[in-house]
Amino acid sequence: MGSQKDVVNKLIPADDLYWDDIEKKYIALSEEEIENIMLTCINNSIDSDQEITQVLNWCTSVRVGELLMKNFLNGTIAIDGIDKDGEPFFVENREGNR
């Protein structure tokens, strides 16, 4: 069994993500998208750091969900069950495209 990082890299390929030089890891949103989200928050009177962070976290979840759906539909990953919150549990699809 590989590490958690190996599993994530198989579920969402690095080509679908953005490299963050500061954090030294791949992230779901580009620097430009993050800046745009922050400015849009401020323009919508969402100006506390906590609220902006919550919006950024939501946007990240949406992007990750979009990437998981894309990879599920193209057969790269499969659903191995549903967790206690009703969310699908994704795994690498060893059978290839269906």
pLDDT in tens, 37-83: 999 999 999 999 999 999 999 999 999 999 999 999 999 999 999 98
Q: Is the pLDDT of residue 6 over 60?
A: no
- Say how many residues make up the chain: 98
Quick one: which of 54, 35, 29 has its CA closest to 43?
35
DSSP SS3 for 77: strand
Is the Cβ–Cβ distance between 91 and 68 less than 8 Å? no
Question: Rounded to two decimals, what is the model's pTM?
Answer: 0.81
- Token pair recorded at residue 33: 């998208």
| Spatial CB neighbours of 51, under 8 Å, sequence gap ≥ 6 | 41
CA atoms of 90 and 80, how far apart (whole Å): 6
